[in-house]
Amino acid sequence: MQGEPGKPLSGIGVLLTRTRAQAASLAAGIGALGAEVFVVPTVSVEPVEDPEGLRQAISGIGSYDHLVFTSVNGVSFFLERMEGTGLQPGTLPSALCVGSRTAAAWEAGGGRVAAVPERFTAAELARTQGKDLSGRSYLVLRPEKVSTPLGDLLRERGAAVDEVVLYRTITPPTGGSDLGDLLDRGVVDVVVYASPSAVRGALEMAGGPERIGRIPALCIGPTTAQAAREAGLARVTHPTDHTVEGIISRLLAMAGELGQRR
């Protein structure tokens, strides 16, 4: 997406590492501000074929105080698994959601939302439940790999927690040549990462941190930022508001610095 001259992000190349559908809102927002937008997905998701413990959890789902979703993908895969069970999302326990978009996805599917933390992290979500969770139970519906063990955070407060792995993240088999071409051309001034897995995927596709690690990394939140630093990326930042709007605000604040990179 070619940027428009005379706009605050004019001449700044922004690489988005999500799928085009997931990146659409951010791409449109920064494109309207003049950024040159490149989209190369560095991570994709696939469902777990037969999630361990899911059938048992569904059969006793009324016993949980809350369902817990950590992403829109988790909501989507759970709704797919609910088809044919005879259960309706609106009759299920209300959900705790890490993020407003995750909450909106669950509500759009007919479910009820009990809490969304102000800061979209697992630790903040656990804090919304208080310090003593004795006698309370949760069903955490999550990806295969997690950076913050939300289930453990709830257990530390005395809760009974069941966890079901619904999907896994993988590095797409294609896209490496597209990323390599952008890096070779030197047109990327900042890379936006929305998850630790996106960081890992970008490094894998780039063949390590040597080239992509020198480019400023704008991460959605502190967990992803920590993963970026641990992976060897040198210039890492994140907004205090872990949303698309927060990313845009931070890009605008960085515009002067980024515009001097070329």
Same-domain status, 100 and 202? no
**Boundary (domain end) residue, out of 169, 198, 213:** 169
Q: According to the model, what pLDDT value does residue 175 have?
A: 65
Same-domain status, 60 and 162? yes
Distance CA(92)–CA(34), nearest Å, equals 45
**Taking Cα atoms as reference points, which of 175, 180, 198, 176 lies closest to residue 43?**
198
Q: According to the model, what pLDDT value does residue 249 have?
A: 96
Same-domain status, 199 and 123? no
- Contact between 149 and 60 under an 8 Å Cβ cutoff? The reply is no
Q: Is residue 1 in a domain?
A: no
Same-domain status, 225 and 210? yes
Q: According to the model, what pLDDT value does residue 111 have?
A: 97
**Boundary (domain end) residue, out of 107, 139, 169:** 169
Same-domain status, 62 and 143? yes
Secondary structure class of 107 (helix, strand, coil): helix
Strand order in the sheet with 95-97: 44-47, 160-170, 137-143, 66-69, 95-97, 113-115
Q: According to the model, what pLDDT value does residue 172 have?
A: 82
Q: Is residue 156 in a domain?
A: yes
**Boundary (domain end) residue, out of 150, 169, 188:** 169
Q: According to the model, what pLDDT value does residue 21 have?
A: 84
Same-domain status, 147 and 107? yes
Q: According to the model, what pLDDT value does residue 216 have?
A: 96
Same-domain status, 199 and 148? no
The pLDDT tens digits for 185-232 are: 999 999 999 988 899 999 999 988 988 999 999 999 888 999 999 999
Q: According to the model, what pLDDT value does residue 142 have?
A: 92
Same-domain status, 205 and 142? no
Domain count, the chain: 2
Here the CATH number for the domain that contains residue 18 is: 3.40.50.10090
Strand order in the sheet with 36-39: 36-39, 13-16, 190-193, 217-219, 236-237
Provide the domain limits for residue 205.
13-43+172-258
137 to 11, 63, 66, 133, 163: CA distances (angstroms): 51, 8, 7, 8, 11
The pLDDT tens digits for 33-49 are: 999 999 999 988 899 99
Distance CA(244)–CA(31), nearest Å, equals 13
Q: According to the model, what pLDDT value does residue 5 have?
A: 63
Q: Is residue 66 in a domain?
A: yes
Same-domain status, 22 and 97? no
**Taking Cα atoms as reference points, which of 50, 10, 17, 47 lies closest to residue 31?**
10
Q: Which residues of the chain have pLDDT under 50?
A: none
Same-domain status, 208 and 131? no
Encoded amino acid at 181, one letter: D
Q: Is residue 86 in a domain?
A: yes
